[in-house]
Every structure is written in C-alpha cells, then in structure tokens.
Structure 1
Amino acid sequence: MLIDNHNRKINYLRLAVTDRCNLRCNYCMPSEGINFAKNNKLFTIEELVKLSEIVVSQGIDKIRITGGEPFVRKDLMVLLRKLAVLNGLNDISITTNATLIGPYISELKQLGITNINVSLDAINKETFNKITRRDTYDTVYSNLIKLISEGFNVRINFIVLDGQNTEDIISILELMKHYNVSIRFLEEMPFNGGSKEFSTIKWDYKSIFNHIKTAFPKIEKLESPATSTSINYKIKGHKSTFGLIPSFSRTFCGSCNRLRISATGDVITCLYAKPSNNLRAILREGNSDEAVKQQILKAVGSRAKTGFEAQKKYDGIFSNSMTSIGG
C-alpha cells in the first residue's frame, strides 16, 4: 500500500502512453505544437506493462491511460489487453479526444474497459474547430454517441474558456439531458506550453455553477466519493449529471489519491509540481523491481500537501504543456 507523507492512500495512477496529440487545442499548446519526445525516450509497451505490474503490487488498483492522445499509439491495444487481465487492477479507464477511438470500441467493451472520459470543449462545431485548430468535430461526436449507445460509462470533460466556449455550457447540458452521461466542467489551468499566462480566472467553479443555475434552477447536489475531484449535481428532469472540477482553485487537494507517470518516465506527484524522479532509465538499466518501487516510495513520501504549496516551490512550472504532463 502506498501512503504519502500526509497520510493519504495513493491507489490511482494516471499513466501517460504518449505526449503526442493529433489536435492543437489552444489552452494546451501553441499552434505549432511543442517539442515532443523522441520515440526512444518514450516507454515501450513492454516497459508500460512491467511498470503497471510493479505499481499494482504496491497497491495501485486504478489506472487511467492518458496522453497526449492515447490512441495516437498504434500499439495501445497491446497494453490494454495486458492490463485487462492484470490481477489486482480493478479499474482501467481512458481519457481521449475521441478522434481515433472508433475502430477499437467493440474490443474495449469486450475487455471490460468501459470507463471513458471524452475531452469535448464545445458542442458548436465552429467553436470546436477554433479551440482544437482541427476539423474533427463530426468524428468526435459520432464516436461519443456510439460510446454512450454501447453502454460505456462516459464522462465528458469540458474546460471552460473565457470568451471562447461559455455559450456552450447550457447547450451541452441541454443536448445531453436524455443520455446517461456526466458532463464535467473544468476550470482552465495555465499548462499551455507557455502560450498564455494568468494568475486568476473569471470562470471558476462557483461562477460556472451560478451560470448553470440561471438556466436550470432545480439542481440537486449528489453525494461523491471522498477522493472525487468533482462536485457533482443532477438537474431535475435530466438523465445526465454534471460535475464541477476546481482544477485551478484546487479545493480537492486534501483527499488526493493520485500519482502521475509521464510517457517519458517522470513521476509527478502533483500537477503543480516538478517531476520527482524518472523511472524509464531505472527500468532500462535492468534494475530490480525493488529499485523501481523504492523510487516510487521516495516520490510518494515527499509530496506537497496542496497544489498551492507545490506551486510555491517551483519557478516556471506553467511553461509545461498538459500533453507532456499526462493530462
């Protein structure tokens, strides 16, 4: 079992399989992209399987596959097939932009990998294209509806961007009200590859809630797990639910149970912190599983208590892009 230095149980790993993405969302990176890692700097599938086996032996029972865009990796399904039969791993989930997932939906269902987060920051096609700088809306929407229709547990991640997509907040709630889906509105974070700096935001989770309440006054707050990053609600008459994620306000830090490992092997104990150490080299040097475990224990044993505390320790943390951190 992994227990951090603030007595928090760590049982959830966000595991990035690539830093590459086929979209160029303007809140994530500059239009020209970032300096993506060379292939030899990324974990191989065999290394990702080995790493997963190690962390599960330490008490990790939930792994979320992230990127970049995970399905950019042509060999992703090889990893997922291995994880699906890994003893002790109870929950495998994926965060995706849903541009490339279509051909794999049937097999994902067969493997029991049914927890899918779809990044969708606009329901208006023109707005979507402006944010992503790509014309893939029809594909994304088609795959989203297919996932919902096939019975996947789908959560839509919608990052609220001042002056860009706020008009779509009510629209997406209205559009999805007949579906068994959760729409989660996230505060914008400044991990955009240095393309934009800010220290405050207009659309924090309270503002988002008040905006929703003006259109849907009959809202019920739902009970959420103690480790949940979202505050969850249900609108009367809607089959769907919605959540608010205070990713910039950071109200959920006290119950954080998450660890991140980037596609290049960096151990990241908080989005607002620098990497603690790197596991790729340790694996490639043929060190024992115990050596990897010790590095993970070291990282977990020196976590900041909150994202604000972590941010104070590091200059230039916001020059990172979310695609290189691991979503």
Structure 2
Amino acid sequence: MLIDNHGRPISYLRLAVTDKCNLRCFYCMPEEGLNWLSRAELMTYNEMLRVCRVMVNMGIEKIRITGGEPFARKDIMQLLASISELEGLKELSITTNGVLTAPYVPELKKIGVKSVNLSLDTLDANRFFTITRRDEFANVITALETMLYHDMEVKINAVVMDGKNTQDILPMVELTRNLPVNVRFIEEMPFNGDGHVYDGLRWDYVRILNEIKTVYPDISKLDDPAWSTAYNYQVPGHKGSIGIIAAYSRTFCGTCNRIRITPQGQLKTCLYDDGVLNVRDLLREGVADDKLQDILGDAFKHRPKDGWEAERKREPRTGIHESMATIGG
C-alpha cells in the first residue's frame, strides 16, 4: 500500500486523457475554448498505459478516466480496454459530460466499467444551453437513460453556481425519488480557464444542505464510504441518494487518497498544486519502470497537507486560471 507523508493511503489515480471538450461551460473556459494541446504534447495511449501499470504495481487500486471529455479523444475504448486488463486493478471508472457517451455504454459494461460520473448542472434544457453554450441536453439525457438501462452505477455531478442553477437543486433531489442515482452537488471552484471572474464561494456545502432541507426536512445522513469526498444523504423512501462535495471548502483533504495526471503528463498530488513532475517527459527520456517507481514514490512523500497549503505554494498570481479541462478534476 502507498502511504504519503501524512499517513494517508494513496490508492486512486485520476487520469485525464485529453484537454479537449465539446462543451464550453462558462465556469470552465472561455466561449471560444482553450488553446488545445498539440498531439505531441499529449501523452500517448502507450505512455498512459505504462504509467497506469507502474502505479497499479505500486498500490493504485482504482483508476478514473477524465478529461476534458474522454470521448472527444479518438479510439478511447482501446485504452480503456487495455487498462481494464491490468492485474491488480480493482476498479475502472469514467467521468463524462454524456454528449458522445450513449453508444459506448454496452462496451463500457462489457470491459468492466461499472460506475460513471455524469456531469450535468441542470435539468432544464434552456439553462443547459446557457451554462454550456451548446445545444446537447437531449444527448446527455439519452446517455443517462442508457446507463441506467444497462444497470450502471451513475453519479450525477452538478456544480452549484449562484445566479445560474441554484433553482435546480430541488428538482435534482427529486430525481432521486424514482431513479437509483447519486446526485452530487459540488461547490464551485476557481479553475475557470480565464472563462469568467470567480469572486468567491456563495453556495458552500452548508447552504446547499439547508436549501435541500427547506423541502426535504427529513433528509437523513448516510455513512460516508472510506476516502469519500462527499457528505452523503438520502431522503427516506427515495431510490437514489445525495452527496454534497465541499470542493472549495476542502474539508475532506485529511482523508484524500487520490492523485492526478494531466493530459500532458503532469503529476498533481493535490488538485490545487501546480504539478510536481512530468511523467511524460520522464518516459520520453527513457526512464526505466523501477526508476519511475522510485521517482513517483518520492513525490508521494511530499504531498501538501491540504488544498490550502498547496494553493499557498503556487506561483504568485491573481486567482487560479487553469481550466478543469486541463487538469482532469
């Protein structure tokens, strides 16, 4: 088992396979998009598979594929199938916006992907267009329906944004009445890609929960799984459940078991750090697997205590201008 310098197990890798996205969510990037990485800057699938193999040998048990939008990268299923066959890997999952996902669901199920996180900030088609600047709501709903039809575990991730979609909180809770989904409300974070001005958190996890209680006062607390980033709840009688993720408040850092690799190979031992080393460059320099393992192990022994410490150590700047599309969430 991998243990960091604060005694926390590291068992979960979030691997971003691309920075490209087919939506233009205002809180993530400018309307015109980002300066996308060139093909040479991206890690190849062989490089990603090699890093995954090394990390699984070190003790990583769960890998989540993220982006950008994973299905925006060509032949993504080939990589997913190869990763699913790694000996020692216990769980492979994926985060997607759902626009392109529906046709892949049967194959995902076949290779053992049991859990999908679906990014969906609203249940209203007009608000969806306002937030994402794209008319893709119908495709996302089709993806949701298809995943549920194939008995996949679905978590719906909704970023709560003041003045944009707070009216969707209660309808999304109601979604759990008849559907076996976990709706997770996420505090807005300042990773805006210079897409908009982030002027502070107005809807923290406490306010979100209080809003839910105005209509569902009997909502009950569930036991949170080990290393959970969410406070989990359920309305009595509902098939699904609710999670609230204090992503900006960072109350879960003390049990963080995850690390991230960006599409260009930057290892991030905390969501809020600048990246601690580039594994893509190491591979292209010819580093052997045992040496790579030593380098990674050393990086894991220097993790910040929490997101606040990581943010303090960043290069001085006004705000955090990375996009979630470039760091994988």
Decide: shared fold, TM above 0.5: yes
Q: What's the counterpart of residue 293 of structure 2?
A: 293
Q: What's the counterpart of residue 17 of structure 2?
A: 17
What count of residue pairs does the alignment treat as equivalent?
327
Q: Secondary structure at the match of 2:278?
A: coil
Query: Is the counterpart of residue 325 in structure 1 residue 327 in structure 2?
Result: yes
Output the amino acid matched with 1:231: Y
Residue 159 (structure 1) shift: 0.3
CA distance in 2, matches of 1:267, 1:228: 21
Query: Is the counterpart of residue 179 in structure 1 residue 179 in structure 2?
Result: yes
CA distance in 2, matches of 1:19, 1:61: 24
Q: What's the counterpart of residue 145 of structure 2?
A: 145
CA distance in 2, matches of 1:197, 1:311: 18
Q: Secondary structure at the match of 2:320?
A: helix
Residue 226 (structure 1) shift: 3.0
Q: What's the counterpart of residue 168 of structure 2?
A: 168
Q: Secondary structure at the match of 2:40?
A: helix
Output the amino acid matched with 1:318: I
Deviations 1:11-68 (A, max 9, x none): 1000011111010001111111111111111111111111110000000010000000
Q: What's the counterpart of residue 227 of structure 2?
A: 227
Residue 73 (structure 1) shift: 1.1
Conservation of the 8 A alpha-carbon contact between 1:66 and 1:95: yes
Q: What's the counterpart of residue 312 of structure 1?
A: 312
Residue 199 (structure 1) shift: 5.6
Deviations 1:242-295 (A, max 9, x none): 000000000000000000011100000111111001010111222201222122
Residue 146 (structure 1) shift: 1.2
CA distance in 2, matches of 1:262, 1:34: 15
Q: Secondary structure at the match of 2:277?
A: coil
Q: What's the counterpart of residue 193 of structure 1?
A: 193
Q: What's the counterpart of residue 32 of structure 2?
A: 32
Q: Secondary structure at the match of 2:263?
A: coil
User: Which structure 2 residues correspond to residues 240-279 of structure 1 after superposition, within 5 A?
Assistant: 240-279=240-279
User: Which structure 2 residues correspond to residues 60-71 of structure 1 after superposition, within 5 A?
Assistant: 60-71=60-71
Q: Secondary structure at the match of 1:171?
A: helix
User: Which structure 2 residues correspond to residues 33-182 of structure 1 after superposition, within 5 A?
Assistant: 33-182=33-182
Output the amino acid matched with 2:322: N
CA distance in 2, matches of 1:279, 1:114: 28
Deviations 1:91-115 (A, max 9, x none): 0000000111111111111111011
Deviations 1:185-239 (A, max 9, x none): 0000000112334463110000000000001111110001231000000001211
Deviations 1:70-94 (A, max 9, x none): 0011211111111121110000000
Q: Secondary structure at the match of 2:214?
A: helix
Conservation of the 8 A alpha-carbon contact between 1:279 and 1:295: no
Name the Cα RMSD after superposition.
Answer: 1.1
CA distance in 1, matches of 2:78, 2:175: 35
Unaligned 5+ runs, structure 2: none
Q: TM-score, normalised by structure 1?
A: 0.98
Output the amino acid matched with 1:193: G
Q: Secondary structure at the match of 1:167?
A: helix
Q: Secondary structure at the match of 1:186?
A: strand
CA distance in 1, matches of 2:59, 2:32: 40
